[in-house]
Structure 1
Amino acid sequence: GGRRLGESKSLPASRVGSSGRRGVDMERLRRLSRARATACGVRRLVGHVISRGLSSSISRTAEEFGRSDAESEITSEWEARCAAERVFKNVAQPGHKYIEEEDLLRFLRKDEVHTIFPLFVGALETGKIKKSAFRNWVVRAYRERKSLAHSLNDTKTAVQQLHKLASALVIIVIIVVSLLVMGVATTKVLVVVSSQLLLVGFMFQNTCKTVFESIIFVFVMHPFDVGDRCVVDGIQLIVEEMNILTTVFLRYDNEKIFYPNSVLLTKPISNFYRSPEMGDIIEFAIDVSTPLDKITTLKKSIQEYIESKPKHWNPKHSVVVKEIENVNRMKMALNVVHTMNHQNFPEKNSRRSELLLELKRIFENLHIKYHLLPQEVHLTQVALADGRIPMPVQLGGR
């Protein structure tokens, strides 16, 4: 008895589709999920779903989604770019080169839109998501996902190798204990076997030490994961693969370098991925005769540029004079802080390049130059305009 299901205030209203079947108002169901529902209301909702056969259709939809998701797996950056292009075309208005807030409101709630807007470069300032910013975000997400997948896979491989080693030791212990319990192995036999094992252990003591140090390095210290950009022996390397005994790195030219983990245990390792926001230094020199007001204007122009790029640069920066050399050159340095670490090295270089070009533009606008000191020149031979060399003039006569 009581009211009908569609009239209940605690349940999403039922709707009748064009085919005559009754459905559930999803918008009201979404509001219900964020509000408190009574036990009676939830019971009625479950009964309505079961009676209308929605559970089977939901299961079929989930299975179809799982199959399509497996078939559309992104396996390369090129596929990530193509996927970004397709998503952008489906979300943006036809012919537009950007996504506006109204476009996202068709798929997301207003609070969700405000949450994702800061993820795209320039979206907060303009209120629009450019195609390039969206594509770069998708590619970056793919790279992070790929790095995480490789890290989990290599960790699983290392754990499996350790599991095999531990299983072998446990089997040996079980066999020895079983022989002792059954009385098959006597004390003399155990002494002989133990002496042989000690001999083998002495022969392979370096190997045992290497294995133990490698296990400590991989599972206890664990200074990096697959995909991390590190510095070892002054060389930037990217972790390609991790095993129990060795770690494979990729150099900047894609050359693979194999390091024993026992060797890495004794080396200082710099990890860019685990570092906080990292700084950068740009050194330059100006003429010592440059007026102080121009130097002040230079600092102000640099500050305005950095503050105009809050997604790229931390507002904390400094322009310092390092030294005056030969009374004609003033060495200066610009210390800046990125809003990221140097894991994405191409992006870091791109930001630095833009900053250098901006410095060049500021120097040109302020007419700040550097002049070399006058140089003493000794002429030993002078040529005329037609290329002839004049004969030396002899003064005086015979």
Structure 2
Amino acid sequence: SDPYQVVLALLRTTSGCQVLARRLYRTFARDGFDTVFSGDLKEAYDDNEEAEAAFSMFDRDMNGDISMEELEGVCVDIGRERKSITASLKDLDSVVSKLDQVFMFFVFIIIIIVFLTLISTSAAGVLTSAGSTILALSWMFSTTATEFLQSIIFVFVKHPFDVGDRVTIYGNSGASGLGDDYFVKEIALLYTEFKKMEGHIVQAPNSVLNNLFILNQRRTGALAEALPIVIKYGTTVDQMERLRHRLVEFVRSERRDFQSMILHELREVTENLSLTLNVVFFYKSNWQNEGLRLQRRNKFLCMLMIALQEVGIEGPRMNLQGYNVDTPFHVAYAGPPTGAPSTYQHHTPDEGAAVGAEPVQVPIGKSFHNIPENTGSSSGVQQRHSILRRDIERSRGESTHNNKHVDFSLGMSDLSSNDILGDVFEDRGIAAHRDEIARSANQHADERWMQKITQEEGIASQDGRTSADSRSVRSEHDEASSARHRFPGHRNRGSVSRGHGDLESGSGRGVQE
């Protein structure tokens, strides 16, 4: 019934966090609006500063409003951070307890040595010989001691990650030996357990991790990503500029996911055949949540594909029947079918063409709109309209079919708040639940055992009281009987006196008669 306890109970599970987020959204969202604004939270707080602080905690993309999906993601992240903090503190307590046991062992050995030195004068020679022997065998313990010290430095001094963090470990790790991404599952004194994206559990010594470069995604801010695109040689600067403007419009419309900035970088020119163009876009978050990263990356890549088709930027390779795929696109080999009305210049296909193919006629100064669409031909001057573009303007994300919604995230929008890839607390929760059940069962067994013992003691005490009462009755009876035996004339004197009285009364009655 306590609201605080209800919120804590909901934050324990992912589904509970989503229920809490939907409840908050329905409570604060005004009618006619799909988002929650900062003014909507002021009714729940006495101080405007607290309301602004609460709003900024949920508005992580800093766009001025909170959607339901954003609220669900924040609530799920808060629940997992609570689990992460609890698990980290638990692991740290376990490490400290083990380290305390090791130090207590050494203290105990030192106390024994000092005690032997004090009580015996000849113990010094024995200890000297024993020390020489241990020093001679020190090579056996040098590796273990080095690993132990490096692990202590790694866990307590460096401490590059906590439980639940997504990390990238560079070095000889991973399937290819070039590093891999992991989620931290458990931190022990001498080792750390990781969970891979595929679900595998990996154990790594802390002494090895102490010498590697580690990238912590949770402690990283907003990230950028560069997408290399290989385009044909001869792509105009105007096409690349229009591509950038189109992508800038997209990221500004999706301000919850991306920063409003796009960078272009021309990397290299390959044999007058192709250009390598880097398209750099900026996220509004890090890559701790893999589901959210996939959602935003898929969304941008889908829009990039559509923008490339709309602008008319194509790749360097041809896809024509009977032609070599390595033929540069700026060499105009392709043309309309033979017999098309125009002025043509004859060309002969290259050596990779099919045997028996007729020469292809290429129009000079004519457009290629009459070429069949399945030929894949293109011109360096004229553009072929995208199949996704219509004659009338349509909003971004709208399909060419009417009343059909296109999900640019490719289904990842529904999974971003429920990131099962990074859930490393499921097994720990099962183990904790199993331990709790075992403790509860043992507690119930102990309670039943104590109740049984109490009942037996109660029965025994009741039997003892009954026997004590019977013994007291018997003792009283014995005392009475012993008293009668000690004074036998008491009853006889009473009977004699009663006999004299009877005689006197009888004699009196006789005289009266």
Fold shared per TM-score above 0.5: yes
Deviates more, 1:74-83 or 1:104-113: 104-113
- For the pair shown, which has the larger CA radius of gyration, 1 or 2? 2
- Does the C-alpha gap of structure 1 residues 313 and 185 become closer, same or farther in structure 2, counting only changes over 3 Å? farther
Q: 1:366 aligns with which of 311, 325, 331?
A: 311
Q: Deviations over 1:360-387 (max 9, x none)?
A: 2322332333363453422379xxxxxx
- Does the C-alpha gap of structure 1 residues 309 and 71 become closer, same or farther in structure 2, counting only changes over 3 Å? closer
Give me the whole-angstrom Cα distance separating, in 2, the residues matched to 1:213 and 1:124: 42
Matched residue SS, 1:342: coil
| Per-residue deviation, 1:281 | 1.0
- Does the C-alpha gap of structure 1 residues 249 and 313 become closer, same or farther in structure 2, counting only changes over 3 Å? same
| Per-residue deviation, 1:274 | 3.0
Q: Deviations over 1:172-194 (max 9, x none)?
A: 21222233334476222322442
Q: How does 1:1-398 map to 2 (within 5 A)?
A: 68=5, 72=9, 74-92=11-29, 98-101=35-38, 103-108=40-45, 109-120=47-58, 128-183=65-120, 186-198=123-135, 201-232=138-169, 233=173, 234-315=179-260, 317-370=262-315, 372-373=317-318, 375=324, 376-379=352-355
Give me the whole-angstrom Cα distance separating, in 2, the residues matched to 1:102 and 1:225: 36
- Does the C-alpha gap of structure 1 residues 102 and 310 become closer, same or farther in structure 2, counting only changes over 3 Å? closer
Give me the whole-angstrom Cα distance separating, in 1, the residues matched to 2:33 and 2:247: 34
8 Å CA contact 1:228–1:239 kept in 2: the answer is: yes
| Per-residue deviation, 1:86 | 3.1
- What amino acid is the match of 1:180? T
| Per-residue deviation, 1:285 | 2.7
Residue equivalent to 2:378: none
- Does the C-alpha gap of structure 1 residues 146 and 283 become closer, same or farther in structure 2, counting only changes over 3 Å? same
- Does the C-alpha gap of structure 1 residues 89 and 213 become closer, same or farther in structure 2, counting only changes over 3 Å? same
Matched residue SS, 1:104: helix
| Per-residue deviation, 1:100 | 4.8
Matched residue SS, 1:116: helix
8 Å CA contact 2:185–2:194 kept in 1: the answer is: yes
Give me the whole-angstrom Cα distance separating, in 2, the residues matched to 1:335 and 1:124: 21
| Per-residue deviation, 1:87 | 3.3
- What amino acid is the match of 2:211? T
| Per-residue deviation, 1:236 | 0.9
- Does the C-alpha gap of structure 1 residues 325 and 201 become closer, same or farther in structure 2, counting only changes over 3 Å? closer
| Per-residue deviation, 1:202 | 4.0
- Does the C-alpha gap of structure 1 residues 308 and 105 become closer, same or farther in structure 2, counting only changes over 3 Å? same
- What amino acid is the match of 2:353? V
- What amino acid is the match of 2:87? H
Whose relative contact order is higher, 1 or 2, with alpha carbons under 8 Å and at least 6 apart? 2
User: Given the two structures, how large is their TM-score scaled by the length of structure 2?
Assistant: 0.55
Give me the whole-angstrom Cα distance separating, in 2, the residues matched to 1:70 and 1:136: 16
- Does the C-alpha gap of structure 1 residues 184 and 342 become closer, same or farther in structure 2, counting only changes over 3 Å? farther
| Per-residue deviation, 1:304 | 3.2
Give me the whole-angstrom Cα distance separating, in 2, the residues matched to 1:97 and 1:302: 25
8 Å CA contact 1:117–1:124 kept in 2: the answer is: no
| Per-residue deviation, 1:327 | 2.9
Give me the whole-angstrom Cα distance separating, in 2, the residues matched to 1:65 and 1:138: 16
Computed over aligned residues only, the root mean square deviation of the Cα atoms, in angstroms, reads 3.3
- Does the C-alpha gap of structure 1 residues 337 and 75 become closer, same or farther in structure 2, counting only changes over 3 Å? same
- What amino acid is the match of 1:75? R
- Does the C-alpha gap of structure 1 residues 199 and 151 become closer, same or farther in structure 2, counting only changes over 3 Å? same
Deviates more, 1:251-260 or 1:200-209: 200-209
- Does the C-alpha gap of structure 1 residues 70 and 271 become closer, same or farther in structure 2, counting only changes over 3 Å? closer
- What amino acid is the match of 1:321? L
8 Å CA contact 1:117–1:123 kept in 2: the answer is: no
The number of residues matched between the two structures is 318
5+ long unaligned stretches in structure 1: 1-60, 382-398
Deviates more, 1:135-144 or 1:317-326: 317-326
- What amino acid is the match of 1:132? E
| Per-residue deviation, 1:71 | 7.5
Residue equivalent to 1:54: none
Give me the whole-angstrom Cα distance separating, in 2, the residues matched to 1:100 and 1:312: 18
Give me the whole-angstrom Cα distance separating, in 1, the residues matched to 2:196 and 2:114: 50
Matched residue SS, 1:129: coil
Give me the whole-angstrom Cα distance separating, in 1, the residues matched to 2:205 and 2:16: 35
- Does the C-alpha gap of structure 1 residues 74 and 356 become closer, same or farther in structure 2, counting only changes over 3 Å? same
| Per-residue deviation, 1:308 | 4.3
Deviates more, 1:145-154 or 1:80-89: 80-89
- Does the C-alpha gap of structure 1 residues 120 and 366 become closer, same or farther in structure 2, counting only changes over 3 Å? farther
| Per-residue deviation, 1:255 | 0.7
Give me the whole-angstrom Cα distance separating, in 2, the residues matched to 1:188 and 1:91: 81
Give me the whole-angstrom Cα distance separating, in 2, the residues matched to 1:369 and 1:136: 38
8 Å CA contact 2:163–2:186 kept in 1: the answer is: yes
**Kindly, what percent of the aligned residue pairs are identical?**
25
- What amino acid is the match of 1:378? A
| Per-residue deviation, 1:251 | 0.9
Give me the whole-angstrom Cα distance separating, in 2, the residues matched to 1:364 and 1:164: 67
Give me the whole-angstrom Cα distance separating, in 1, the residues matched to 2:32 and 2:224: 40
8 Å CA contact 2:192–2:206 kept in 1: the answer is: yes
5+ long unaligned stretches in structure 2: 174-178, 325-351, 358-513
